[in-house]
A and B are shown apart, each in its own frame.
Chain A
Amino acid sequence: MKIAMYWGASCGGCDVSLLSLHEKILDLLKEVEIVFWPCAMDFKYEDVEKMPDGSIDICFYNGAIRTEENEKIAKLLRKKSKKLVAYGSCAIEGCVIGLANLYSREEILKEVYSKDVPGEDLPEFLPYLKTLEQVVSIDASIPGCPPPTPILEDALNALLQGRQFGKNVALCDECPRKDSKPDKIEIDNIYRWHEKKDSGECFLAQGIICMGPATRGGCKAECITANIPCTGCVGPIPKIKEQGISMISAIASIISNKNEDEVIEKIEDYVGTFYKYSAAKLLPEGRLKDES
C-alpha cells in the first residue's frame, strides 16, 4: 500500500504526531510504502507529478489552504490519490490559524506593507484561509490538533482495514472529572481559568468554560488530566454541525436565572473561546466564494 503525507499551512505537529506512534511506526512501515513526505523524505513535487493518477492509495493532507501553492498541491494530490484524508484540525476546520479569517487578506497585508504589497514569483496569499474540503473532495478525516495518539491509532487501523472510525460521544463521557459533575449544573459566575484556583471538580460546575460538552471524545481528556479545561481541538461530535453554537447553548442552559446578564457579560472573546479551532468554517460560504 502506497501512502503519502503532506502539509499545507500547518505547524508540523501533524507530521510529528505520526512519529508519536513510536515503535508502532515500524509495524506500519511493514505494511505501507511512503512515496511522498517532505518533512522526512527527499521526494520532490516533480516526483509526485510523474506518478500515475490514483497511484497513491491513501494520502494524508494536514494543514489548511492559505496559499495558491497549498491549493495547487492539494489538487495534485487529490488526482494522484485513491483516498484523500484530511489529517488534523487545520485541514478539517482551519484550526487556530483560521482565526486569521477575522481579517481580510488586505487587512493582514496592510498591517506590514503600507504600499507595494509584494508577491513577485511567489504563490499568492489567498483572500481567506480555506479548509481542505473547501478546495477538493475528501474521503475521511482524522480530528485533533494534532490527532492524539489514541485517535490516530484507531483511524489508521480502520483506514488500512477499510472500516469506520471515531467516537460519537462528547468528551465529558471520558472525562476523569465526570463523577464530580452534578446532575444539574447551575452557575452564577464565570471565571477565567488562570484567575481561579482549580478545585479539581468539573470545570463547568466551577464556572470555568470547558468545551467538553461540545467536543468529540477520543483523546482521553489529556488536557483535563493536566488540570486545563478542554479548548475543543478535536472538533464537534459528528451529529452536531457547529461546535461553537453547541457550546454557547450548553452555557446558556447552566447559567442561573438570578444574574443572567451579569454572567453573560463576563464572557470575553467569543470567537477565540468558542471557535478557536473552527473560525475558518464560520465564514458564510458566499463570502468565501465572492472574494477568493
Chain B
Amino acid sequence: MKVSSIKVSIDPITRLEGHGKIDIFLDENGNVTNARVQTPELRGFEKFCVGRKAEDMPIITARICGVCPEAHHIASAKALDMAFGAPPPRTAHLIRELLYNAYIFYDHCLHLYYLGGIDVLLGDVEKKDRNVIGLIKKFGLELGAEIIKHRRYAMETIKMVGGREIHPVCAIPGGVSKRIKEEERKEIEEKFSKCISFAERSIALFKEVFDSDRWNELLGLDEIKTYYMGIVDSDNRVNYYDGNIRIVSPSGKEFAKLKPNELIENIDEHIEKWNYVKYPYLKKVGWHGFVDGEKSGVYRVGPLGRINSADGMNTPIANKEFKEFRKNGIVHKTFAYYHARLIEMLNAAERVYYLCQEKDITSDDIRSMPTKTGEGIGIVEAARGVLIHHYDVDEKGLIRKVNLIVATTNNNAAINMSVANTAKKVIKNGEVNDILLNKVESSFRCYDPCMACASHAIGRMPTIINLYRNGELYKRLVRDA
C-alpha cells in the first residue's frame, strides 16, 4: 500500500506526570521519518516567584510538582540555607535526608507499579488493562495490597516528618520546623524494615521478567551511549540528598567532579535558532546534535545516570545489587532504568532504616537562624535526576531572581533520541496499532519523565523530539509553547 505522508498522534501521553503528546511521521512507505514529543503546557514559576517572600519558596515551589514536591521543597530550603547564611544543625540534615529517602522510595514505587512499570510487568496487553487495576488482576490482590501498604508507610512517614503527605512544609531556611520524637522514630524504623523486605520482593518480581524474552525485546528498543551524572558522597556512593556531582564518560571514566555551585558553569544549553527550547549539554564536550558517544555532550540523569556515575550504594543490600548490575561496567540500554530504579528503591528503604538508628535523629537541635540575605544554590537528586534551585534574595528577604534546572530537562536530548529510535524500530510499512504505539510511549516512560516539572517555566520545556535518517538529523519541526 502506498500512502502519502501520514502523521500518527499519541495524545495525551499517559501514565506519566504532566502533559505530553507524541507525533510520529511516516514516509510514503509507512516507515518513520521523524517523531516529536510536545509538552503543551507552561506555568511560569520563574516569573511569578519574583517578589515573593523567600521563606515561602519551599511551599510555593513544591507546587511545581505534586509527585516530587519533596525534591523541590528540599532543594528550595537548601538554597535558602545558603541565601540566609543559616547552615542547619546535623539533626536537621538527618531529618531532611530521612524525609528525602522516604520520598525516593514511594516515588520509585509509584513508577514501578502504577506508571511505567506496567509496561514491563504486564507485557503487550490491551489498553484497558494497562494500569494498576490490570496489574492487580494479573498478580492478585495480595500483591496489590502489599504495594498500597508499603507506599502508604512511606507517605505516612512523610506526613509525620514533613507535616503533609503531599506538599510537605517542614523544611525551612536553617533547618526543619519539627523534630522527630522517639515514638515516631521507632514507628518509622519498623515501617521501613518492612519496606526493605518489600523492595527485595519487588526486585525478585521484576527479575522474573528480566530473565524473559520479553525483557530482551524491551532492552533492544533503545541503547544510547551517553555521559552520566549523579550526586555522590565522599566515597563516590549514590546520595540523593547531598554531595558533589560526578560525571562519567560513556566508557565509564570519571569526567568531572563538581561542587554544586560549579555545575551551572559546566553546563550549557543548546538553542536552535528557530526555537527557544533548551537542551542542556556538557560545555567541555560540546553540542554536536542529537547524537551519542564520547564526542557528544549529551548526558543522562535519574536512576541510570546515578548508578552509572557512582562506584556503589551507601547501604549493604542495595550495594550487592549494584555490583551485579554494574559487573560489566556502564549500562547503556534505556530500559535498564527500571533495574536501576529497583536498586534505588531498596537503597532508599535501607537508608531510612539506618538514619533511624542515628543517635542525633531525635535531638531538638533542629534549626539555626538567618544571618544575612543574598544568593543561594540548593541541589538534590530528584527521583528523576539532578535538580537545582538558584535564588537571589534581596535585603528585605524577597526573591529578586529565580533559576530552576529540573531533572527531566537534563534528560531532554536523551528522551528525544530514545523515542525516535524506538519509533523507527517498531513501526514498519505503515503498520500502526495501539500495542506498537505503546512501545513508543514505553521508551519515553523509562525516564519516568515529569512534564509537570519540566514545564514549570517557559523556555525550558522538553518540547521537541527531532528524528534522524541514516544517523543524520533529518528534520527539526516544532517550536515550543
Contact = CB atoms under 8 A, between A and B. Distances in A.
A276 interface: yes
Contacts of A42: 14-15, 127-128, 130-131, 438
A122 B398 contact: no
Contacts of A12: 17-18, 65-67, 450, 452
Contact of A226 (B162, B276, B397): B162
Interface in B140-164: 141, 144-145, 148-149, 151-152, 155, 159, 162-164
Given A25-B148, A40-B114, A122-B38, A227 B166 contact: no
A100 B19 CA distance: 19
A39 B480 contact: no
Nearest to B84: A194
Contacts of A227: 170, 177-178
A26 B130 contact: no
Contacts of B43: 9, 66, 97, 100
A99 interface: yes
Contacts of A113: 276, 458-459
B166 A20 contact: yes
B71 to A, nearest CB: 12
A285 interface: no
Most chain B CB inside 10 Å of its own CB: which residue of A12, A67, A109, A120: A12
Nearest to B275: A118
Contact of A44 (B11, B84, B159): B11
Interface stretch (B50-58, B187-195, B221-229, B307-315): B50-58
Interface in B69-85: 69, 80, 84
A1 interface: no
B48 A268 contact: no
A269 interface: yes
B31 to A, nearest CB: 22
Given A40-B114, A118-B480, A13 B66 contact: yes
B288 to A, nearest CB: 24
Contacts of B14: 38-44
Given A38-B12, A42-B131, A193-B55, A123 B47 contact: no
A231 B52 contact: no
Contacts of B40: 67, 69, 122-123
A118 B463 CA distance: 12
A276 B318 CA distance: 42
A109 B479 CA distance: 14
Interface string B1-30: 000000000111011111100000000000
Interface in A183-220: 192-195, 197-198
A22 B275 contact: no
B396 interface: yes
A11 interface: yes
Contacts of A16: 66-67, 110, 166
Contacts, number: 229
Contacts of A194: 54-55, 80, 84, 172-174, 370
A19 interface: yes
Interface in B406-428: none
A194 B167 CA distance: 18
Interface string B368-384: 01100000000000000
Interface centre among A113, A226, A227 (most CB of B within 10 A): A226
B59 interface: yes
Contacts of B478: 120-122
Interface string B389-409: 000000011100000000000
A3 interface: no
A25 B480 CA distance: 37
A175 interface: no
A125 interface: yes
Given A112-B458, A194-B55, A194-B370, A96 B63 contact: yes
Nearest to B127: A42
B398 A269 contact: yes
Contact of A269 (B15, B52, B133): B52
A23 B145 contact: yes
Contacts of B145: 23, 26
Contacts of A99: 48-49, 52
A228 B170 CA distance: 7
Nearest to B163: A226
A198 B90 CA distance: 20
Given A19-B114, A122-B38, A194-B55, A226 B479 contact: no
B448 interface: no
Interface string A13-32: 11111011011011001000
A142 to B, nearest CB: 14
Interface stretch (A145-153, A165-173, A236-244): A145-153
A9 B450 CA distance: 14
Given A16-B166, A39-B17, A223-B169, A123 B481 contact: yes
Given A40-B132, A118-B481, A272-B51, A66 B41 contact: yes
A9 B481 CA distance: 13
Contacts of B458: 108-109, 111-113
B59 A272 contact: no
Contacts of A146: 66, 166-167
Given A12-B66, A103-B47, A226-B163, A119 B130 contact: no
A137 interface: no
Q: Which of A17, A67, A97, A228 has the most CB of B within 10 A?
A: A228
Given A14-B66, A17-B166, A231-B56, 19 more contacts: A12-B17, A12-B66, A13-B69, A16-B67, A42-B130, A97-B45, A99-B48, A118-B480, A146-B167, A192-B53, A195-B397, A222-B169, A223-B163, A226-B162, A228-B59, A268-B53, A269-B56, A273-B53, A276-B60
Interface of A: 7, 9-17, 19-20, 22-23, 25-26, 29, 34, 38-46, 66-67, 69-70, 95-97, 99-100, 102-103, 107-109, 111-113, 118-123, 125, 145-146, 148-149, 192-195, 197-198, 222-223, 225-228, 231, 268-269, 272-273, 276
Interface of B: 10-12, 14-19, 38, 40-49, 51-56, 59-60, 63-67, 69, 80, 84, 110, 114-115, 127-128, 130-133, 141, 144-145, 148-149, 151-152, 155, 159, 162-170, 172-174, 177-178, 275-276, 369-370, 396-398, 438, 450, 452, 458-459, 463, 478-481
15 contacts: A11-B69, A12-B65, A12-B67, A16-B66, A23-B149, A44-B14, A97-B63, A118-B275, A123-B481, A192-B397, A197-B369, A223-B169, A227-B170, A227-B177, A231-B59
Q: Which 5 A-B pairs have the closest CB atoms?
A: A13-B66, A226-B163, A118-B479, A194-B55, A112-B459
